Structure formats: structure tokens, C-alpha cells
Amino acid sequence: MTEQSKAHPPGNSTKNTCPKKRKVSKRVNLADIQLLVLDVDGVLTDGTLIINADGSESKSFNTLDGHGIRMWQRAGLKVVFLSGRPSEPTRYRAEELEIDHVFQDCHNKLEVFESLLKQLGLSADKVAYVGDDLPDLPVIKCTGFGVAVANAVDEVKQYADYVTARRGGDGAVREVIEYILKSTGKWQQLMDRYLP
């Protein structure tokens, strides 16, 4: 990972680089999406935190999501974890999946997101973001393709371009990845690995 448990990537963004987004969904060209940014708790997990007797934390991640992330990467696309909480299980999962950019303990996700865009040289309309709770809302409103998982709060669903049928921690991320890759014609090429 090039970033580890940092709330702020290099470079401070003082200006809001995100375009204003309408309340209702807009047409987006999914073929333009180059980056998938994922909240962790409630998206990659079901939101449950297990605090063990020794104070350590445990989380449950869905293997369908993990395989979906690998397929996304095989398509030549990038993934970022952007979480409001610091967590060792999140760091370990990101290492397993070879996620290059992991930001934890982010209390202002939009600020971190904008700084990351600047660092990567991307515009917000080239990004899909998946979230579930109010801290995700500013980024969902900013991105080209904002996604709410099925268990997201109503306000997040209201501003999302897409709401998953699956809940966070139950394959919602895989659903989003398949939706984008199938819509852009990239899925079938990836299936060649499994259907020689």
C-alpha cells in the first residue's frame, strides 16, 4: 500500500474541486469510471464491530466483494479504501487485496477525497464511490457515480445514482463492480479466465 492509515494524503486541497451535483440521478458514462472508492464499515462489512476481550477489533469481510475487487483490478482499474475509523482488520484486508491507497480515521472524507483526486490527476466524474452513512454523503454527491448500499441511511440513498439490492458486507461491492464492468463490456473479457 502506498498510503497507510492516513487521514490526509499528500498535498492540501483548499478549493472544492467537486462539481455541484443535482439531487436526482444524472446520466453517467460508466466507461469513464477509472477509480472505485469504498467506505469500509457498512459497505465492505455489515457495520458490526466486534471488540474482543483484549481490546482488539474483528470484522467480517465478504469473499464475493474481495473477488470482485480483484476482477476490477484485472480490468486495469484502481480501488481506494476511505474509512472514518482506524482499524487493523481494514489494513490487513487492504494488504491482502493489494489496495494501493487506504485512508483511515477520515473525519472529513470530502477533503481527503479531493486531495486524492489532485494526487492521482483525476476529476471527480471519473470516480465511483460506495457508501452507507452520512459522512459518505458529500463524496457521493461529488462523484461521477455515487452508490448507496441497500442498508444505507435514507439521505444517502436519496442522493445516490444507484442503490444496490445487496446489503453492505453481503456482496454489495461485488454487485457494483459487476454492474459497471458489464455495462462497459469489460466483464466478458474477464470471464475468459474462468471459461477457457
Length of the chain, in residues: 196
pLDDT in tens, 57-105: 999 999 999 999 999 999 999 999 999 999 999 999 999 999 999 999 9
User: Is 24 part of a structural domain of the chain?
Assistant: no
User: Is 16 part of a structural domain of the chain?
Assistant: no
CATH label of the domain that carries residue 66: 3.40.50.1000
pLDDT at 23 over 60: no
Which of 9-23, 43-57, 179-193 is least confident?
Answer: 9-23
Phi and psi at residue 22, in whole multiples of 5°? -65, 160
How would you classify the pairing of strands 127-131 and 145-148?
Answer: parallel
Strand, helix or coil at 181?
helix
User: Is 22 part of a structural domain of the chain?
Assistant: no
User: Is 11 part of a structural domain of the chain?
Assistant: no
The confidence score (pLDDT) of residue 193 equals: 86
User: Is 127 part of a structural domain of the chain?
Assistant: yes
User: Is 9 part of a structural domain of the chain?
Assistant: no
Pick from 89, 124, 101, 114: nearest CA to 3: 101
User: Is 61 part of a structural domain of the chain?
Assistant: yes
Determine the Cα–Cα distance for residues 66 and 81; give it in Å rounded to an integer.
13
Q: How many distinct structural domains can be found in the chain?
A: 1
Structural domain boundaries, residue 50: 30-191
pLDDT in tens, 152-170: 999 999 999 999 999 999 9
Predicted model pTM: 0.89
User: Is 47 part of a structural domain of the chain?
Assistant: yes
Residue 28, classified by CB atoms within 10 Å of its CB into exposed (0-12), middle (13-18) or buried (19+), is middle
List strand residue ranges (DSSP E) for 52-150, in order.
57-58, 78-82, 101-103, 127-131, 145-148
